Amino acid sequence: MFVDEAKIHIKAGDGGDGCVSFHREKYIAAGGPDGGDGGKGGDIVFVADTNLSNLIDFRYKRKYHANKGADGSSGNCTGKNAEDLIIKVPLGTVVRETESGRILADISDKEPVTVAKGGKGGRGNAHFATSTRQIPKFAKPGFKGDEYDVTLELKLIADVGLVGFPNVGKSTLISVVSAAKPKIANYHFTTLTPVLGVVKVEEQSFVMADIPGLIEGASEGVGLGHEFLRHVERCRLIVHVVDVSGIEGRDPKEDFEAINRELSSFSQELADAPKIVAANKSDIASPEQTAAFREYIESKGYQFFEISAAAQKGTKELIYAIAQKLRELPPVKVFEAQPLTQFELDEKLLSKKEFDVTTEGGIYYVEAEWLWDILRSVDMDDYSSLQYFQKVLRSTGIIDRLEQQGIREGDTVDIFGFRFEFVQ
């Protein structure tokens, strides 16, 4: 089974908690706080594996969680950082955030890409000792790691993509110009998965992809639909293979226009990509048919090649022309990552404003999952950062809820272990 799309959940590791500890040693009185910091949580890292050809493994395992960093310990010992979780994917996999559709990474080379970052470790109580607070009995919890629902899309990395109606000879063409051995038979949709082949022209080589046949109405799910057109998106050049003989009762001109309409409905950028037209089965077409189609194609400004893939007629001239064209074109397309800006991240978090306020032992506890990422970005020693945090508490209704429950100035508020005195 060929699988080129999968949805998974990834969760980077949380940071380890800081430690509350005090130095204890014979003959040393009041040794002071010595709680160490927590370790960093593991990152989620995607790496290309050339031994993988599709995403079928992700149909059976859908959740990937990195380990949490170790907690800090006494003696100012920092907890051990957690190991990164490596996820291997086929070369050419694009990672998108499912909810927003944003591209988080394009695994188009062998360089590892960190998609979700592990949380930093919390600070131990040794950090909070001051001249006026010499025995701090608190430490910070570790920060949470990034968490995403992501969609993996495999977009094959090929220089040339063959498109056209079923049974026009694309598989035969790639089999005679490369070492690829696709299944070839005289019926529609013989090719059910994309096939890659390496074509060598003297000192130059390029990758050609045989894309399963389109038919009119593919954008509405007819035939194989647009299922495989994502594999042409990276292609530098499209070779449009047309059956010029009309042996199946179709008009070559109408076929050419129908496929172009389907390309446009999928992506205008793809429709506007550089193209070469290969008129296949010319050995069983009449000279008048071929001449009329040549005139039609060349009037539209496309290069035209008369070939017979089965008889290997004109294929050499075609691949030499492809090689020459590729030398003039930019490299294979790489999709740029589109990370959320801090403003967009905050807006996204604040859109989920559910929270709960409870009171226990005179302390007001605020529980709101969305508030964690905002809290960890706030520098409590910076006045402007504290003002921003106060604005968030006010704008989301948390302060109003605290006042409704009778909080007074000087009372203690606890948010994820961070405690502060309420000031009106």
| Distance between CA atoms of residues 142 and 123, nearest Å | 8
DSSP letters, 267-292, are -HHHHTS-EEEEEE-GGGS-HHHHHH
Q: Which of 154, 187, 222 is the last residue of a domain?
A: 154
| Distance between CA atoms of residues 8 and 148, nearest Å | 9
With H, G, I as helix, E, B as strand and everything else as coil, classify residue 195: strand
34: phi then psi, degrees, rounded to nearest 5 = -140, 30
Residues 6+ apart with CB under 8 A from 236: 159, 160, 274, 326, 329, 330, 331, 332, 333
Asked if 227 contacts 5 with a C-beta cutoff of 8 angstroms, the reply is no
| Tens digits of residue pLDDT in 279-291 | 999 999 999 999 9
Nearest to 73 by CA among 104, 46, 35, 127: 35
Residue 279 lies in a domain: yes
303 and 201 fall within a common domain: yes
Total domains present in the chain: 3
Residue 213 has a pLDDT of: 63
- Hey, CA dihedral for 398, 403, 407, 410, is it positive or negative? positive
365 and 309 fall within a common domain: no
**CATH number for 395:** 3.30.300.350
- The amino acid at residue 259 is I
Asked if 164 contacts 281 with a C-beta cutoff of 8 angstroms, the reply is no
Residues 6+ apart with CB under 8 A from 279: 242, 244, 252, 285, 290, 293, 294, 297, 304, 305, 306, 307
Residue 165 has a pLDDT of: 87
Question: What's the domain range around 33?
Answer: 1-154
What's the mean pLDDT in 103-113? Answer: 93
194 and 144 fall within a common domain: no
Q: Which of 281, 296, 328 is the last residue of a domain?
A: 328
150 and 164 fall within a common domain: no
- Residue 273 in this model has a pLDDT that exceeds 60: yes
Residue 134 lies in a domain: yes
Residue 335 lies in a domain: no
Determine whether 350 is exposed, middle or buried from the number of CB atoms within 10 Å of its CB (0-12, 13-18, 19+).
middle
274 and 185 fall within a common domain: yes
- Residue 126 in this model has a pLDDT that exceeds 50: yes
What's the mean pLDDT in 345-363? Answer: 73
- Residue 350 in this model has a pLDDT that exceeds 70: no
Residue 415 lies in a domain: yes
220 and 289 fall within a common domain: yes
With H, G, I as helix, E, B as strand and everything else as coil, classify residue 242: strand
- Residue 348 in this model has a pLDDT that exceeds 70: no
User: Can you list the alpha helix ranges (DSSP code H) found in 247-382?
Assistant: 252-266, 268-271, 287-299, 315-328, 342-350, 371-376
Residue 223 has a pLDDT of: 46
Top-ranked range on mean pLDDT: pick from 106-115, 379-388, 391-400: 106-115
160: phi then psi, degrees, rounded to nearest 5 = -130, 135
Strand-strand pairing, 160-163 and 237-243 = parallel
**CATH number for 118:** 2.70.210.12
301 and 388 fall within a common domain: no
Q: Which residues of 183-220 are buried (b: 16+ CB within 10 A; e: fewer)?
A: eeeeeeebbebbbbbebebeeeebbbbbbbbbbbebbe
| Tens digits of residue pLDDT in 167-220 | 888 889 999 999 877 666 554 555 567 888 899 998 899 999 888 766 655 445
**CATH number for 220:** 3.40.50.300
265 and 391 fall within a common domain: no
Asked if 155 contacts 267 with a C-beta cutoff of 8 angstroms, the reply is no
| Distance between CA atoms of residues 145 and 164, nearest Å | 46
Q: Which of 100, 123, 154 is the last residue of a domain?
A: 154
What's the mean pLDDT in 3-7? Answer: 90
Residue 366 lies in a domain: yes
| Tens digits of residue pLDDT in 304-320 | 999 999 999 999 999 99
- Residue 102 in this model has a pLDDT that exceeds 50: yes
305 and 390 fall within a common domain: no
The residue that leads in pLDDT, 238 or 2, is: 238
6 and 95 fall within a common domain: yes
| Distance between CA atoms of residues 226 and 248, nearest Å | 23
Q: Binning pLDDT at 50, 70 and 90, where does residue 389 land? A: confident
How many Cβ atoms from other residues are within 10 Å of residue 407's Cβ? 18
Least confident among 40-44, 50-54, 125-129, 291-295: 125-129
What's the mean pLDDT in 271-286? Answer: 92
> pTM value?
0.74
71 and 206 fall within a common domain: no
Least confident among 150-164, 219-233, 262-276: 219-233
| Tens digits of residue pLDDT in 135-159 | 777 777 788 888 999 999 999 888 9
Residue 334 lies in a domain: no
Residue 45 lies in a domain: yes
Residue 336 lies in a domain: no
239 and 93 fall within a common domain: no
